[in-house]
Amino acid sequence: MAASDIRILIVDDSKTDIAIISSILADYDCLIAYNGLEAMSQIKANPDISIVLLDLNMPVMDGFEVLKQVYSDLKLNNLNVIILTNYDEVENEIKGLELGAVDYIRKPLNLPSLRKRIEIHSKLQRARRELEMYNADLEEAVALRTFELVATRDLTIHALLSLLEVRDIESSNHTKRTQLMMQTLCEHLRENEKYKDILTDEYIALLYSTAPLHDIGKVGVPDYILTKPGKLTKEEFDIMKKHVDYGMSSIRLPEYKAFSSPFTETAAEIISGHHEKFDGTGYPRGLRGEDIPLPGRLMAIIDVFDALVNKRVYKPAFSHKDALKIIAEGRGTHFDPVITDAFFDVEEEIRGITGKYQAEPAEAKQI
């Protein structure tokens, strides 16, 4: 679908920044406002605006007031507002997100990253439009409706995960690898008498579908923590750990608290459980042994192994052999021993997956 089907409002009191942003988004339908008051007039006059790039520090009406007005109006809740902040304005970023902004971009502008984020938020808006269209056709045949809703759900999930890959450069191809490792491990583990009745084809398919959501909460973690090349401080690690809470909140919205499904429940167990440890020293709840739901115990070993064999901003990639040694050392402490043994049974298949779907090199240019 062409970029021109998405209308974007650029709000900034800097004519230079507006010119630069307009240039990089030349194939989109862009409108311009130089302060918050002009922005609100444009938004009310153009209900087809999908995305707003909003500077926070402006005369007449600042970006915070625009956010308050936009998200207090139910008719405008479908707007995706992305705030523009300076590198030393972390508190403003948090405040903007609390007021309803869906993302932030720091100045000086990283133009390739800005362009990519706009592409991903455009995908999200298209997915939302499709979902609204589907909901308007609820009298359609049940089978067709189910297929469409699942397709829209998957499109939305993958658009969100693409956004995470843009912000968290260590995550390239992480989604595909973890899905395939989950499938491979489960298909072998069900040969164990203990799990043969649990790990049905349907349940494995569910684990495959929900595995990508394990770190979805990282969307709420600031860039300076996700991309820090060194060890996190205690305060930074405490912020990082909140990605579990953010992830849980994303799939258990208050307005849908009465709604539950196998998909959301399995996703919740993966998100909340994949940082727990078998000996009870993990987070967020310090669960021990089989009190940790099975999806969380499976995801724990998969996520750690994938992190070990791939380069991250804070470490080089470990060899397959060295990574397996670390996994073995975690048997019974970090990881479920039965699942660990099954993981070693399929380590050659795992090697094939990590080799085929290697992380792609990331490149960031400050402009």
Which tens digits make up the pLDDT trace of 217-244? 887 888 888 888 888 999 999 999 999 9
Q: pLDDT tens digits, residue range 171-181?
A: 568 888 999 99
CB 31 within 8 A of CB 9: yes
Eight-class DSSP state of 215: G
Dist. CA 213–CA 176, nearest whole Å: 12
What is the CATH number that goes with domain 6-109? 3.40.50.2300
DSSP string, 22-33: HHHTTTSEEEEE
DSSP 262-326: HHHHHHHHHHHHTT--TTS--SSS---GGGS-HHHHHHHHHHHHHHHHS-BTTBPPPPHHHHHHH
Residue 362 has pLDDT above 50, yes or no: no
**218 in active site:** yes
Average confidence (pLDDT) over 49-60: 91
Q: What percent of the chain has pLDDT over 70?
A: 84
Whether CATH 3.40.50.300 fits 169-356: no
Examine domains 6-109 and 169-356 and report if their fold is the same.
no
133: tokens are 């269209």
Cβ atoms < 10 Å from Cβ of 299: 28
Between residues 311 and 281, which one has the greater pLDDT? Answer: 281
* Three-class SS state of 69: helix
Mean per-residue pLDDT, 64-69: 92
Q: What does the pLDDT average to over 182-200?
A: 96
Per-residue pLDDT band at 215 (split at 50, 70, 90): confident
Q: pTM for this structure?
A: 0.58
Q: What is the pLDDT of residue 364?
A: 35
Read off the pLDDT of residues 124-150 as tens digits, 9 standing for 90 and up: 888 877 777 776 665 555 555 555 556
Domain-by-domain residue ranges, the chain? 6-109, 111-167, 169-356
For the chain, the distance separating the N- and C-terminal CA atoms, rounded to the nearest angstrom, is: 28
CA distance 224 to 247: 19
- In 3-state terms, what secondary structure has residue 331? strand
Q: Which one from 68, 123, 196, 218 is the annotated catalytic residue?
A: 218
